[in-house]
Amino acid sequence: MAAYTTIDDPEAYFQVKLYTGDGSTPSITLDGDTDMQPDLVWIKNRDEADSHCLFDSVRGATKVLHSDNYIAEVTDADTLTSFDSDGFALGADVKVNTDTEAYVAWNWKAGTAFSNDASATSIGDIDSSGSTSTTAGFSIVQWVGTGSNAGIKHGLSTKPSMIITKPTGAIGSFYTYHKSPDATDFLKLNDTDATADNATIWNDTEPTTSIFTTGTAFDSGRTFIAYCFAEKQGYSKIGSYTGNGDADGTFVYTGFRPAWVMVKRTDDVDYWYMFDNKRDPDNVMEMKLEANTSDAEYTSVDWLDFTSNGFKWRYTGGGVNGSGSSFIYMAFAEAPFVNSNGVPCNAR
C-alpha cells in the first residue's frame, strides 16, 4: 500500500502539549501551525501520582473522568474550564495545574456535531449524539443504555478500530474494543487485565461503518460516553504485533513518524504504556506513563525509537516486547511518511 495521506498536517487533528502549572487560571495554547479547538483533552501530571483527567466537549468542560479509576464522572469547576479555539483554559485544581509541576495534555479534534434518532433513521437501536471528524476518524458518542443488545451510531463513515467506553454517572470500567483480536473479547483501559471473552460487552458483534454494538453489560438508564477511533492512512494506525524479547526489538510499521503511541499486552496482565514525541523528543525514548495508573512519569529505561515510518522497541521486557507475547497499539502521527505531494518526512 502506498505511503500517502490525505492529512498533511496531523497537528490540525491531534497534538501533544507540554505545560508547567502555575496554580492560577491559565489559558493553554496549542503549538501547531493550524489552530485546533480540541474536543478530547487528556491531561496527566508528570511529576506526581495524580490521576489522569479526561475532558470532552460532548459532556462539557469541568466534567472529569479518570482512566486509572472506575469512579463516576466528577464535576470540578476548578479543572478544565473551557475548550478554546486554539487550546483550553484551566482552573487551579492540583491534578491539572499545580504550581511549578510538569504536565502533558493529549488533544484530539472532532468538531462536527451529530445526533441520531434511531427510530427515524433506522440506524442502530438507541438514540445517540456527539461530535465527529470523518476526516480524522475520531468521534465522541453519548447515549443512554437499555440493558439490552443494541446498535449505536458512532458518527464515522468507516469502521472504528478502537472504542473506549465509560458510564459517566456511575461506577464502571472503561470497556475497550480493539480490532485485534475481535469483538468477542474486551479490555479495560483502567485495568491491567488480559483480553477476555464476554458476549455481554460487545454482543460478539463487530462494528460496522455506521454503528457499534453493545451488550447487556451496558445498564438500562445509565448515560455512557464512547471515544471511537478509525484508522486513517498516514495519520493514525491501530494494530497488533508480536514481541521478540530483544534489544534489537520488534519494528512496527505505521506509515508515519509517530507523535503518540499507546501499547497494551493482551495475552497476560500488564499496563497500558504511553509514549509521545514532546516529552521525549529524541531517540532512544525513556519517558513512560501508564493510562491505568496515577503513577508519575518513569524515566529510567530505554524503551523505544520513533522512526520516520513507525516505532522500534529497544526494551526487552514483557510489557511491551516480551518474546512471543501479543500486543495491541494505537498511534497518531507527527508527520506522514510521505505526504500527499509525494514528499517524505525525515527521521528524528
Q: What is the pLDDT of residue 100?
A: 97
Question: Mean pLDDT over all residues of the chain?
Answer: 96
Q: Where are the domains of the chain?
A: 11-108, 112-229, 236-336
Q: What is the pLDDT of residue 34?
A: 85
Query: pLDDT tens digits for 72-87?
Result: 999 999 999 999 999 9
pLDDT of residue 209 exceeding 60, the answer is: yes
Average pLDDT of the segment spanning 3-32: 93
pLDDT of residue 310 exceeding 60, the answer is: yes
Q: What is the pLDDT of residue 1?
A: 42
Contact 243, 250 (CB under 8 A): yes
Average pLDDT of the segment spanning 242-246: 97
Contact 82, 41 (CB under 8 A): no
Q: What is the pLDDT of residue 3?
A: 55
Contact 239, 318 (CB under 8 A): no
Q: What is the pLDDT of residue 341?
A: 81
User: Does the N-terminal peptide bond of residue 167 adopt cis geometry, omega within 30 degrees of 0?
Assistant: no
Average pLDDT of the segment spanning 81-109: 97
Contact 110, 132 (CB under 8 A): yes
Q: What is the pLDDT of residue 347?
A: 83
How would residue 235 be classed by pLDDT, with cut points 50, 70 and 90? very high
Contact 152, 212 (CB under 8 A): yes
Q: What is the pLDDT of residue 344?
A: 83
Q: Does domain 112-229 have CATH number 1.10.3470?
A: no
Of 6-10, 14-18, 64-68, 117-121, the one with minimum mean pLDDT is 6-10
